[in-house]
Amino acid sequence: MTTLTIRRPDDWHLHLRDGAMLQAVLPETARHFARAIIMPNLVPPVVTLDDAVAYRDRILAALPQGMTFEPLMTLYLTEGTDPTDVERAAASGLVKAVKLYPAGATTNSHSGVRDLTKVMAVLETMARIGLPLCTHGEVTDPEVDIFDREAVFIDTVLAPLRRRLPELRIVMEHITTEEGVAYAADGGENLAATITTHHMIINRNHILAGGIKPHYYCLPVAKREKHRLALRKAATSGSPRYFLGTDSAPHVDALKEHACGCAGCFTATNTLSLLAHVFEEEGALDRLEGFTSLHGPAFYRLPVNTATVALEKRAEPCVWPDKIVSGAGPVTVFQPGFPVHWHVLT
């Protein structure tokens, strides 16, 4: 097969930031994607419905003329979040999920949740109205090895929460382990998981062997090879439990190439080509559309996109810019380290 037309994809986990960075990265996503779930970890975070409405307006204002894109907003869960505001946010139709960051787990997570019992009233409201909770599924206990933090989160936080509130609809975001794959597989209708493009391409050796590669560092950090293979198998399985959330997370190079570098891989520019490459390698090109364009809307109870996007496999490999230029500084585009021949026709 050398051409492929699929329904226009959606990105169910995306960081757009704000200001000059937003301006630079938004077209990279809007070029190929119809909608995206927008992460709320700005400084200060997007906590209330009013915050989300204002942020959505800034995103739409930054959209270049002639492009269409629908930001699906999320609220950042804090221990002070008001359940009635969450209910109003869902009713507005603009807010599609609430994001749980365990405090200290990742970039701009310090306003996140330390004690889940303090947000139970919010979670009960969400369970009642069917509003999904997106989880950054890592424990923050410094005693727990960083490569084990996802599996420990599943056992000690997620499983007890789901036993207590089985009606709560949960998205395990950016799963990186075979434990995550297995837990999502058995979770029933109220559970799904997103998988990033880069976690299907790199393992921890790519980050650390032969010199440290800061542009491959993200959170949850890529794990050993068997986990990468489990993620590829899950994504290409055709199961509706798994769908694309790129977690494309721009940081300026100065903060990535740093003694204490930021977490995040910027994949918006080339995600679709990379996915076609991965799905072809797995003999599953016919399942790409499910992963990018069908399973996500089904879980979020939204219509699928009617527009399409076409890809063509050409002899010459794709060439992407090394960097996106932003008013905040350059942002390095994720490079897979192998040639990719699936060009997106725009």
In the complex, minimum distance from the CB of residue 39 to ligand DOR, in angstroms, rounded to a whole number: 6
Q: Which of Zn ion, ligand DOR, none does residue 106 bind to, with CB < 5 to 8 Å depending on kind? A: ligand DOR
Catalytically active residues are 247
219, 244, 285, 324: residue in contact with ligand DOR (rule CB under 6 A): 219
Question: What is the DSSP secondary-structure string of 216-264?
Answer: G--SSPP--HHHHHHHHHHHTS--TTEEE---B----HHHHSSTTPPP-
Among 269, 277, 194, which Cα is nearest to 231's?
A: 194
Distance in angstroms (rounded) separating the CA atoms of residues 9 and 124: 31
Cα–Cα distance measured from residue 56 to residue 94, given in angstroms and rounded to the nearest whole number:
9
Figure out which of the listed residues 249, 252, 276, 331 binds ligand DOR, where binding follows CB under 6 A. 249
- Three-class SS of residue 89? helix
| Under rule CB under 5 A, residue 138 binds Zn ion | no
**In which element (H, E) is residue 8 found?**
none
CB of 17 to ligand DOR, least distance (A): 8
Residue 221 CB, nearest approach to Zn ion (Å)? 13
- Nearest distance, CB of residue 249 and Zn ion, angstroms: 6
| Closer Cβ to ligand DOR, 85 or 247, answer by number | 247
- Alpha-carbon gap, residue 199 to 128, rounded angstroms: 33
Q: Considering the complex, what minimum distance in angstroms separates the CB of residue 219 from ligand DOR?
A: 4
Site string for Zn ion, 237-266 (x = CB under 5 A): ----------x-------------------
Reading the block at residue 90, the tokens are 């869902």
Residue among 78 and 125 whose Cβ is closer to Zn ion:
78
Q: Cβ distance 197 to 274 under 8 Å?
A: yes
Buried residues in 190-214 as b, exposed as e (16+ CB within 10 A)? bbbbbbbbbbbbbbbebbeeeeeeb
Q: How many residues bind ligand DOR (CB under 6 A)?
A: 11
Query: Which lies closer to ligand DOR via its Cβ, residue 113 or residue 218?
Result: 218
Residue 150 is a binding residue for Zn ion (CB under 5 A): no
∠ CA(173), CA(175), CA(156), 5° rounding? 85
Distances (CA, A) of 71 to 9, 177, 254, 271: 13, 28, 28, 18
Q: Distances from the Cα of 218 to the Cαs of 144, 149, 269, 329, 343, in angstroms?
A: 18, 14, 17, 19, 26
Q: From the CB of 155, what's the least distance to ligand DOR, in Å? A: 20
CB nearer ligand DOR, residue 122 or residue 218: 218
Number of residue whose CB is nearest ligand DOR? 218
Decide whether 97 or 284 has the Cβ nearer to ligand DOR: 97
Q: What is the dihedral of CA 175, 178, 180, 183, to 10 degrees?
A: 150
Using the rule CB under 6 A, is 269 a contact of ligand DOR? no
Query: Considering beta carbons, is residue 106 or 236 the nearer one to ligand DOR?
Result: 106
- We find the least distance from the C-beta atom of residue 22 to ligand DOR, in angstroms, to be 13
* 263 lines the binding site for ligand DOR (CB under 6 A): yes
Closest CA to 168 of 197, 142, 135, 131: 131
Residue span 13-52 as binding mask against ligand DOR, x where in contact by CB under 6 A, dash where not: --x-------------------------x-----------
Strands 308-313 and 242-244: unpaired
> How is residue 63 annotated by DSSP?
S
264 touching ligand DOR, by CB under 6 A: yes
Which CB, 13 or 295, lies closer to ligand DOR? 13
Contacts with ligand DOR, residue ranges (CB under 6 A)? 15, 41, 106-107, 136, 218-219, 247, 249, 263-264
Contacts with Zn ion, residue ranges (CB under 5 A)? 247
